[in-house]
C-alpha cells in the first residue's frame, strides 16, 4: 500500500470506530513500514554505548542514569541525536 492509501484506510477505520464503539480503542491502524523512524535521544545513545556485556541491564541502566545526571550540558552534547537505521 502507498502512504496515501494507508492514510485513507486509517481514516476510514477511525470513522467506523466512532460510529460503532464508545471508546474507539479497539481499532487497529495500519503502520507504514517505509515510514522513517524517530531519532534516538542522546541519553539512549549514551546508555547503549556505556553498557558493558555481562552485567544485568537494570544495574547498568542505574549506573548510566547516575552518570548522565552528574554530567554537564557540554559533556552531554557529545551524544547528538542520530536517526535510527
Give CA–CA dist 65/69, Å, rounded.
6
- 40: domain CATH number is 1.10.30.10
CB 67 within 8 A of CB 79: no
- Are residues 51 and 25 both part of a single domain? no
Identify whether residues 48 and 63 lie together within a single domain.
Answer: yes
Q: Which three cell numbers stand for residue 45?
A: 545513545
Does the reported pTM lie above 0.75?
no
Q: What are phi and psi of 81, to 5 degrees?
A: -70, 135
d(CA 9, CA 66) in angstroms, rounded, equals 45
Q: Are 83 and 39 in contact (CB under 8 A)?
A: yes
Q: Do 47 and 76 belong to one domain?
A: yes
Set of cell numbers at residue 30: 495500519
* Contact present, 30 and 77 (Cβ < 8 Å): no
Q: What digits encode the pLDDT tens for the residues 11-66?
A: 999 888 888 777 656 788 888 888 888 888 888 888 888 888 888 989 999 999 99
Amino acid at each position: 500500500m502507498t502512504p496515501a492509501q494507508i492514510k485513507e484506510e486509517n481514516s476510514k477505520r477511525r470513522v467506523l470506530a466512532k460510529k460503532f464503539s464508545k471508546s474507539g480503542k479497539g481499532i487497529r491502524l495500519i503502520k507504514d513500514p517505509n515510514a522513517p523512524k524517530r531519532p534516538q535521544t542522546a541519553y539512549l545513545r549514551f546508555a547503549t554505548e556505556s553498557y558493558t556485556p555481562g552485567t544485568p541491564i537494570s544495574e547498568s541502566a542505574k549506573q548510566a542514569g547516575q552518570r548522565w545526571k552528574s554530567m554537564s550540558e557540554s559533556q552531554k552534547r557529545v551524544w547528538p541525536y542520530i536517526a535510527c537505521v
